[in-house]
Structure 1
Amino acid sequence: MGVTIRQIAEAAGVSRGTVDRALNNRGRIKPEVAEEIKRIAKEMGYRPNQFGRALSMSKQNLKIGVILQGAETPFMQTVLQGIEQAKAEVDNLGGTVLLTKIPHISARGVLEAMEQMREEGVSAIALAPVEDADVKSKIDEYVEEYQIPIVTFNSDVKDTKRLCFVGQNAFQCGRAAAGLMGELVSGEGKVAMISGYSSNPSLSDRVRGFQSEMEKKYPKVELLGPEYCFEDNTIAGQLTEKVLTENPDLKGIFMNSHGEEGMCKVLEDLGKAGEIKVVANDFMGRNYEFLRDGAISLLIGQDAYVQGYEPVMILFRLLFHGEEPQGEFKYTEIMIRNAYTIPQ
């Protein structure tokens, strides 16, 4: 026979109601008391009845909110696939996943989506944040005042009370890009940086990682930028043409966001494809085509599907089992491909 809530209550010296609130993360309860009850339950081998818990969740209409920024980009379309799979699994066990898609990067959009989700009674939120003081303040408010745990994905805001982060170690990705670019340009010459949004923490970390590693290992490389294309191919193309016009001796471009198609078109039109060394990010859109044709020298990728799936499931496991995430950071693998390692 399995361990019961009554037995846990007796061992912890609290009421069955307190145990139920601690294990199901509902109602107000002192964090230290909840932690002690969960520790005792784990030591006693307590496992909830999943069918009964699912029925209970259905009656409570337990909801998890997901806020996806930059939803129209190829990368986020794959993130969305992971979210949809997690949504199907949560729905099957009696919960509900509410998804808000924001086409571009928008602090106001995030704040409005968070408030709407709170009004609709969500128990937790997974979101791709933006570097904005109001968004950070709102995250802390939701965690502290409303007891709504928040998991960030794709980009992170470390200086908040969010539960954990799922995504690429963006600073390390930038360092990796610098190491690759440094060798491609033989450690000297001009290299331009084109990014998406200065308010995107992940893209900013890539830039910082790239700059720091370049300055450390390749001091003869002159860095230009970063310039921001807002993940728009037309603007990315214009920025590429501008930097080439102003710097005819340019040797490389680090493109760390969506906008690769616009950049590669200009390189091809100017007869510079293959001559200008390009390190870009993500195995999405036409990037494999550009890699195969030589317009992009190297691609650095990440697991977009996991970034969509895992945040929802972390929150589900927290609400369903009382299972805390293993660590503050769940970094996805940094993968590097060239023209010879493209999947067939």
Structure 2
Amino acid sequence: MGVTIRQIAEAAGVSRGTVDRALNNRGRIRPEVAERIQKIAEEMGYRPNQLGRALSMSKNNIKIGVIVQACETPFMNDVLEGVKKAKEEVDNLGGTVIVCKIPHISASDTIEAMEEMRKDGVSAIAMVPSDEEAVKEKIREFTGVYQIPIVTFNSDVPDTGRLCFVGQNGIQCGKAAAGLMGELVNGTGKIAIISGYRTNPSLRERVDGFTTQIREKYPDVELVGPEYCFEENEKAEKITEEILKENPDLKAIYMTSHGESGVCMALKKKGMAGKIKMIANDFMGENYRLMREGYIHFLIGQDASIQGYEPVMILFRLLFHAEEPEKELIYTEIYIRNEYTIPE
């Protein structure tokens, strides 16, 4: 019997995922660590049989489904780039990746996509879920009755039997925003919270982390909202106008989701650009522009491409190598930028 990835991992004192990345040049690993693992694998006589596995996969017609909600937002466009990269890798090894893009957050469209993929014979699904009972029950049905493994990404529903989650720790993101915001307003005044969807677990966690930390560390701050814009700029603009009308002494806005341009347009109309502090999420061209123009003071980012790439590859490794994920919650890095650290 040949040397396994598990044996190499034990010899190197690292995880199986780290060995996989080192032997397959998947990145996200220090060069010196990759070199050491490759040397150990060579010394142990490891010989990958990728071609044989690929032929076997092709014969078994293994398929991985991907369901992306809110796919038209700038952030999800970056996530889809990661999905595209993973799809290319899986396709090259004889597998198939089917991608379903849903423009908004829709429980009915998500359930319909899941059923279509099941009928199409998918072996596993990576998906962006919403926190709606119908969606959660459908995931339970897939993981329990049909034995179809599911990896969630970007947002999570942990009580469903899903295999694991890949994405940002929303609570920590919200707490990071609260720490920055508390200093921006000197610990006093009104701060408005504008979010996207109530049913998006990731956005809800950002709100929860933010409100909890503000109330604990900055008791003199008064929170307004959250209000929900459904990640639409026009709706976000109207919400901001109404908040400013009812709270002329507003000091800051925490924007948890897409809709930043609408908020900034409302601030511009009122002549409040730069006067009202603003923290938003995700690194993208439009947000960088708004930061350069003085509307946004801090951006909190996450690795969008990895959120699209890694769930597909986790399922691929499960089906291809029978390799379980390293852990249940796979959090991406949280990054913070201001006007001095954004790309030229």
Please indicate the TM-score interval, normalised by the length of the shorter structure. Answer: 0.7 to 0.9
**Aligned twin of 2:144:** 144
**Residue 243 of structure 1 aligns with which residue?**
243
Could you say which residue in structure 2 is the equivalent of 1:52? Answer: 52
Q: Tell me how far 1:178 sits from its aligned partner.
A: 0.6
Aligned residue identity for 2:57: M
Aligned partners of 2:47, 2:228: CA distance in 1, in Å?
Answer: 50
Residue 116 of structure 1 corresponds to 116
1:195 aligns with 2:195: yes
Aligned to 1:227: 227
Cα 1:111/1:46, change in 2 over 3 Å: farther
Partner of 1:176: 176
Q: What letter is aligned with 2:154? A: N
In structure 1, C-alpha distance between the alignment counterparts of 2:74 and 2:259, rounded to whole Å:
10
SS at match of 2:194: strand
Match of 2:30 in 1: none
Q: Kindly report the root-mean-square deviation, in angstroms, between the aligned alpha carbons of the 2 structures.
A: 1.5
Q: Structure 1 CA distance, aligned partners of 2:76 and 2:2?
A: 43
Q: Deviations over 1:312-342 (max 9, x none)?
A: 0000000000111000011011000000001
CA positional deviation for 1:137? 1.1
Encode CA deviations 1:157-193: one digit per residue, 9 max, x unaligned. 1112100000000011001111111100000100000
Question: Do the aligned partners of 1:232 and 1:258 also contact (CA within 8 Å) in 2?
Answer: yes
Match of 1:213 in 2: 213
Q: Distance in 2 between matches of 1:46 and 1:153?
A: 32
| Contact kept? 1:66, 1:98, Cα under 8 Å | yes
Q: Tell me, yes or no, if structure 1 residue 264 matches structure 2 residue 240.
A: no
1:288 aligns with 2:278: no
- Once the two structures are superposed, residues 184-226 of structure 1 have per-residue CA deviations (whole angstroms, 9 ceiling, x without a partner) of 0000100000000000000000000001001100010000100
Amino acid aligned to 2:53: R
1:76-115 matches, within 5 Å, as 76-115=76-115
How many angstroms apart in 2 are the aligned matches of 1:267 and 1:171? Answer: 27
User: Any idea what SS the aligned residue of 1:342 has?
Assistant: coil
Runs of 4+ in 1 over 3 A off after TM superposition: 44-48
Counterpart Cα distance in 1 of 2:246 and 2:72:
32
In the aligned structure 2, how far is the partner of 1:159 from the partner of 1:285? Answer: 36
CA distance in 1, matches of 2:250, 2:108: 38
Match of 1:324 in 2: 324
Judged with a 3 Å threshold, the aligned counterparts in structure 2 of structure 1 residues 326 and 47 are, in CA distance, closer, same or farther, namely farther
CA drift of 1:140 comes to: 1.2
1:342 aligns with 2:324: no
Q: Distance in 1 between matches of 2:132 and 2:158?
A: 12
The 10-residue stretch of structure 1 (139-148 or 200-209) with the greater mean CA deviation from structure 2 = 139-148
Q: 3-state DSSP class of the match of 2:84?
A: helix
Structure 1, unmatched stretches of 5+, are 5-43
Equivalent-residue separation in structure 2 for 1:218 and 1:109 (angstroms): 41
Q: How does 1:9-24 map to 2 (within 5 A)?
A: none
Range that drifts further, 326-335 or 285-294: 285-294
Deviation at 1:46, TM superposition (A): 8.7
- What do residues 120-157 of structure 1 show as CA deviations (whole Å, max 9, x unaligned)? 00000000000011111111111111110000000011
Equivalent residue number for residue 36 of structure 1: none
Q: Distance in 2 between matches of 1:236 and 1:271?
A: 17
Q: Distance in 1 between matches of 2:300 and 2:273?
A: 19
Identity of aligned residues (%): 68
The answer to whether the 8 A contact 1:48-1:321 is kept is no
Q: Is 1:66 the equivalent of 2:70?
A: no
Counterpart AA for 2:309: Y
CA distance in 2, matches of 1:276, 1:313: 42
Offset at residue 73 of structure 1 (A) = 0.4
**Which residue identity does 2:152 align to in structure 1?**
T
User: Which residue number in structure 2 is paired with residue 33 of structure 1?
Assistant: none
The match for 1:10 is: none
Q: What SS does the corresponding residue of 2:271 show, helix, strand or coil?
A: coil
For normalisation by structure 1, the TM-score amounts to: 0.87
**Aligned equivalents of 1:45, 1:330: Cα separation in 2:** 31
Residues in 2 aligned to 1:2 and 1:276: alpha-carbon distance in whole angstroms: 63
Report the Cα distance in structure 2 between the residues aligned to 1:120 and 1:296, rounded to whole angstroms. Answer: 45
SS of residue matched to 2:165: strand
- Figure out how many residues of one structure are paired with residues of the other and give that number: 305
Task: Give, in angstroms, the shift of residue 240 of structure 1.
Answer: 0.6
Specify the SS of the correspondent of 1:148.
Answer: coil
Task: Report the TM-score, using the length of structure 2 for normalisation.
Answer: 0.87
How far is the alpha carbon of 1:258 from its aligned partner?
Answer: 0.2
Q: Is the 8 A contact 1:70 1:102 kept in 2?
A: yes
Give the Cα separation in 2 of the matches to 1:218 and 1:45.
59
Quick check: 1:124–1:149 contact (8 Å CA) kept in 2? yes
Gaps of 5+ in 2: 5-43
What amino acid is the match of 1:77? N
